[in-house]
Chains A and B, each alone.
Chain A
Amino acid sequence: MRTYIIKRVLALIPTLIFATLIVFFLIRMIPGHVIDLMLSQQDISADKVTRQKIEHELGLDAPVHIQYLRWVSGVVLRGDLGRSLWRQTEVWKDIKTRIPVTAELALMSLMISLLVAIPVGVYAAVRQDTMLDYIGRTVSILGIAVPYFWLGTLVMIYPALWWGWSPSVELIPFRENPLGNIKMFLVPAVILGLFMSAVTMRMTRAMMLEVLRHDYIRTAWAKGAPEKIVIIRHALKNALIPVVTLVGIQVPTLVGGTIVIEQIFSLPGIGLLMYDAVLQRDYSVISGLMLFIGLIVLLINLLVDLSYGWIDPKVRYK
């Protein structure tokens, strides 16, 4: 098990190197250089001297590959993700202050998605072709078809028009007002969670249907086991194996989702940080953030892989 984990962690390195190359160079290929944006915003006529001065101060005058090596060596040697080109703040500190918001949103969305998807999926499979199965399937197709950003926008607009209610725009810290904090996150988390639950629900239903046809389920009935035990202990545990994989694959979707949802509900998480950084072409923030997100996604998928050993006895890591 330990050797397996070490091997897997080592295997992350090439992936991460590749990721740094992509995030570093691709962002610099977007039209609209950060200096142009800075100059246009500060309303300074772009004479060559000021431009060169700013470029030099930000370290952007060096050739791109040198910049890349500087950045990577900073990351590797000092764990330093760089400084924001605009604010001169440390990227890592920016991420650290915003992580709780995104983590809370993501976890709540994931929990809501699983809490909806698994019971509905199981119920739809056990009572296949009943009215509730049809309703569950229809709603889940809607969940796949209706974009969450559109739904999020509607939730922002219509309650405001009808009842004069709108989600809070100021972050309520959990420590000060736990209930208010959860209330604040609930609407965006439900929107994102329902979107993700659609696929998970379909997968749970399909797997349950397959597993329920197996002889060992019939055996469980023949043993005289009550329905709850047959469904949960015998069927669901076996049906969940591919569902766990699916949830692992959904993590990047979740990250992408939080970026959009944070923007709509103006939640100050790393999504909003990313959004602003892209608009401002804040190269170092984007690169640092992307690297961080990439690492998180890879680690979560590693956890998913490791969890197979626990869910599926056929998988043993040596």
Chain B
Amino acid sequence: MSENNGKHLIDVKDLSVHFPIYTGAIFKRKVGDVKAVDGVSFHILSGETLGLVGESGCGKTTTGHAILRLHELTGGQILFNGEDISAYGGSQMRVLRRGMQIIYQDPFSSLNPRMTVLDIVGEPIAVHKMSRNPKDYQDQVAELLQVVGLNPSMSSRYPHEFSGGQRQRIGIARALAVKPSLIVCDEPVSALDVSIQAQIINLLEDLQEKFGLTYLFIAHDLAVVRHISNRIAVMYLGSIVEIADRLDLYHNPQHPYTRALLSAVPIPNPTLDAQRKQLMLEGEVPSPVNPPPGCKFHPRCPEAKPFCAEQIPVLKDTGHRNHWTACHRSGE
């Protein structure tokens, strides 16, 4: 968690990503949209780690992909270093990819099985013509491998010859190859053993300090997010419901959904765990094709009032240390 200078590296304004649903075999007819991300706004400060949490299918990953323009945007704007990149074309985007990279959850499907580590890590260098000669190229790759704690002599090996943790390190080296300022970490540790998780988290923190990286850290493991993030945003059904500094969010959650999420985090102490009150949410997450009107959370919210079903709540400042929440009842 390095200090930042208050400069916004990423500004997301009213971002929407909808996936159309079609029926009909020959004459296709659009019957609706999966509203994976629906009007999301937030910013990431340069040098900070923004944690993005929420349950499966809430749109965390889609948000991350949309920032990297790996998905077409349905609406909204993305500003990278103050520049609107939402309408960038293919060649502009390719240049921009030097500034932003991604690390994936699954270290097995994220590395091309037919390429050696040298080619996997080195390809971004080659694509962006960042090496002067073949020797320089190999040196750069060797250095990257060393940075992530791998032996450079392993560069002629293929991904299947590595363990999960090592593969994740290769993925990180690859992301670092273009010297980006932003890395979207899409659940980078959820597929790893707990002991390896800690190593990777520490590595990510070290790298952040060393290279002044900015992370968008997507996860569903609240303990991990709490450890690594400066600020945390909570998503529910395509919208951000709460965003706050990490400790503030954990100690003083404002949104009922955040409270329910936090109460589901296991406490490694059986006595304490038995004492606390668990907030159990009723029902299932509604379909993002047809989200509930008003506050999307109202059918499951223990504190919902009739007007919650009518008005869409907006993210508003609670007036307490940068703590924003989208709940009609906050501050009551």
Contact = CB atoms under 8 A, between A and B. Distances in A.
A240 to B, nearest CB: 9
B97 A222 contact: yes
B112 A220 contact: yes
A221 B104 CA distance: 13
Interface residues of A, number: 23
Interface string A109-136: 0000000000000000000010000100
Given A219-B174, A222-B68, A223-B178, A313 B98 contact: no
A223 B104 contact: no
Interface string A177-215: 000000000000000000000000000000000000011
Interface stretch (B122-130, B281-289, B316-324): B122-130
Nearest to B111: A216
B168 to A, nearest CB: 12
The winner among B93, B106, B115 for most chain A CB atoms within 10 A is B115
The winner among A225, A226, A312 for most chain B CB atoms within 10 A is A225
Given A223-B124, A223-B178, A224-B97, A218 B113 contact: no
A238 B112 contact: yes
Interface in B27-69: 28, 65, 68
Interface string B102-116: 101110011111111
Q: Majority SS of interface residues in chain B?
A: loop
A223 to B, nearest CB: 4
Given A313-B158, A313-B160, A216 B112 contact: yes
A229 interface: yes
A87 interface: no
A223 B114 contact: no
Interface residues of B, number: 35
Contact of A314 (B26, B112, B113, B174): B113
Contacts of B68: 222
A237 interface: yes
A220 B110 CA distance: 9
A238 B112 CA distance: 8
Contacts of A98: none
A215 B101 contact: no
Interface string B76-97: 0000000000000010011111
A238 B102 contact: no
A234 interface: yes
B110 to A, nearest CB: 4
A134 B25 CA distance: 10
Contacts of A215: 104-106, 109-110
Given A215-B106, A314-B158, A224 B114 contact: no
Contact of B127 (A129, A218, A229): A229
Contacts of B95: 224
A224 B124 contact: yes
A293 B160 CA distance: 38
B160 A223 contact: no
Nearest to A314: B160
Interface of B: 26, 28, 65, 68, 70, 90, 93-98, 100-102, 104-106, 109-116, 123-124, 127-128, 158, 160, 171, 174, 178
19 contacts: A215-B104, A215-B106, A215-B109, A216-B109, A216-B110, A216-B113, A218-B65, A219-B104, A219-B110, A219-B174, A220-B112, A221-B70, A222-B97, A222-B100, A224-B97, A224-B124, A234-B115, A311-B114, A312-B113
The 8 closest A-B pairs by CB, nearest first: A224-B97, A215-B110, A313-B158, A224-B94, A223-B124, A216-B112, A215-B104, A215-B109
